[in-house]
């Protein structure tokens, strides 16, 4: 393998990894606060891509405007999902909320199949993204650097939000202790809504960039990326935001490298992600950057 091919694979791994990281953030933030595996997150990802698709197709808005609008619409969808399906179960057994998440996932997928149709739709990719430049011997498509760059910007923005603003402080307080936060006059419901909005917005950005990378969308497109991003979140230690980013990049790069170095095993790609996860969980039961939970009787 030449250096050129290797670097190309690294770039590929980074762009896939940054998408996983974006989606993994949503899983990890919700888990950190509600201890809920939000299985509907992958479908929120799908909604983001469809929102952009219809905004461009029906309203013929300029691409960047549609991009922003699609993110906002998806964020609102995420908040609505929380309102309707998770908030009533806040004090129910945890498994009920999980089943509710699975139900929402079923619901979104099937509504997608009814409303959008089951046939995959071609996703219009603006010309800017497909243009390529040659840097030395390497030909790089604009998309290859736009995806990691945009993801980095979004992830930095998120880090600022969570660690440098009052709203972020409220999120962290709630994930530490919901009851005490309420006593400290933190509006728990509002903060949870905000968490869902932020997580869904990032998922939408991820979904749109995913659709740019693999320009075909269908209502079930969120299942596999959602699952992978979830693996990434657990890998990094679910509940930890830096962990989700680390897990996302790690998983993306490892997956691409597996296919690059051992093409014979490319069929096992999906299993590989889980294998890595299981091995890491056995060594570090709460993920790479997760907190150890001591158990008391």
Partner 1 sequence: MVGDVEHAFSYRDPSVVARRARLKLACNLVSLALAAALIHWLQRNLGDYPLRILNLAAINVILAVSLNLIYGFTGMFSLGHAGFMAMGAYVAALLTLPQATKDVIFLMAPLAWPFNVLSAPPLVAVIAGGLVAGVAAFLIGLPVLRLRGDYLGIATLGFAEIIRVVANNIPSVTNGALGLKGIPGFANNLWWTWGWAAFTVWFISRLVSSAHGKAFLAIREDEVAAEIMGVRVTYHKTVSFVTGAVFAGIGGALLGSLTSTIDPKTFGFMLTFNILIIVVAGGLGSITGSIVTALLYTVLLEALRPIEAGWRLGPLVVPEIPGLRMVVFSLVLLVIILFYQRGLFGGREFSWDWLVNRLERRARATTRGETPSALRARQPEPYRPSTRADTRDKSMSHGMGQAASGQGGTNDDRDALTDEAGRDASGQQSKLT
Residues that bind partner 1 (CB under 8 A): 37, 39, 85, 88-89, 92-93, 95-96, 99-100, 102-104, 106-107, 109-111, 113-114, 118, 227, 230-231, 234, 238, 267-268, 270-271, 274-275, 277-278, 281-282, 285-286, 295-297
Tokens of 30: 């919700």
Let me know: does 17 contact 252? Beta carbons within 8 Å.
Answer: yes
Q: How far is the CB of 88 from partner 1 (least distance, A)?
A: 5
Nearer to partner 1, 183 or 297 (CB): 297
The encoded tokens of residue 214 equal 């693999």
What Cα–Cα distance (Å) separates residue 69 from each residue in 56, 202, 219? 10, 13, 20
121's enclosing H/E stretch is strand 121-122
124 CB-contact burial (10 Å; exposed 0-12 / middle 13-18 / buried 19+): middle
Please tell me whether residue 144 adopts helix, strand or coil conformation. Answer: helix
Considering the complex, state which of residue 137 and residue 293 has its C-beta at the smaller distance from partner 1: 293
For residues 134 and 282, give the distance between their C-alpha atoms in angstroms, rounded to a whole number: 44
CB of 245 to partner 1, least distance (A): 19
By beta-carbon proximity to partner 1, the closer residue of 39 and 123 is 39
Cβ nearer to partner 1, comparing 111 with 153: 111
* CB nearer to partner 1: pick between 104 and 147: 104
Q: How far is the CB of 204 from partner 1 (least distance, A)?
A: 22
Nearest approach in angstroms of CB 274 to partner 1 is: 3
Smallest gap from residue 21 Cβ to partner 1 (A): 18
Task: Report DSSP state, residue 86.
Answer: I
Contact partners, residue 9, CB within 8 Å, separation at least 6: 256, 257, 260
């Amino acid at each position: 393998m030449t250096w050129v091919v290797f670097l190309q694979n690294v770039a590929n791994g980074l762009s896939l990894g940054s998408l996983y990281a974006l989606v993994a953030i949503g899983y990890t933030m919700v888990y950190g606060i509600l201890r809920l595996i939000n299985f509907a997150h992958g479908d929120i990802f799908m909604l983001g891509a469809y929102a952009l698709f219809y905004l461009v197709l029906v309203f013929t808005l300029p691409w960047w405007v549609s991009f922003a609008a699609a993110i906002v619409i998806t964020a609102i969808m995420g908040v609505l999902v929380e309102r309707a399906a998770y908030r009533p179960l806040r004090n129910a057994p945890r498994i009920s909320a999980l089943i509710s998440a699975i139900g929402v996932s079923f619901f979104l997928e099937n509504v997608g199949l009814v409303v959008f149709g089951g046939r995959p739709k071609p996703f219009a990719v603006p010309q800017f993204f497909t243009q390529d430049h040659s840097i030395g011997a390497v030909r790089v498509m604009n998309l290859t650097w736009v995806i990691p760059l945009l993801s980095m910007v979004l992830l930095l923005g998120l880090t600022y939000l969570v660690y440098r603003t009052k709203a972020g402080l409220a999120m962290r307080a709630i994930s530490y202790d919901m009851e005490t936060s309420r006593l400290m006059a933190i509006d728990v419901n509002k903060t949870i809504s905000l968490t869902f909005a932020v997580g869904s917005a990032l998922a939408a950005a991820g979904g749109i960039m995913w659709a740019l990378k693999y320009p075909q969308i269908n209502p079930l497109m969120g299942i596999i990326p959602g699952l992978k991003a979830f693996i990434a979140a657990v890998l990094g230690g679910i509940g930890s935001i830096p962990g989700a980013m680390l897990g996302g990049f790690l998983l993306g790069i490892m997956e691409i490298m597996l296919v690059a170095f051992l093409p014979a095993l490319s069929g096992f790609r999906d299993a590989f992600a889980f294998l890595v996860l299981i091995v890491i969980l056995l060594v570090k039961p709460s993920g790479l950057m997760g907190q150890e939970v001591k158990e008391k009787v």
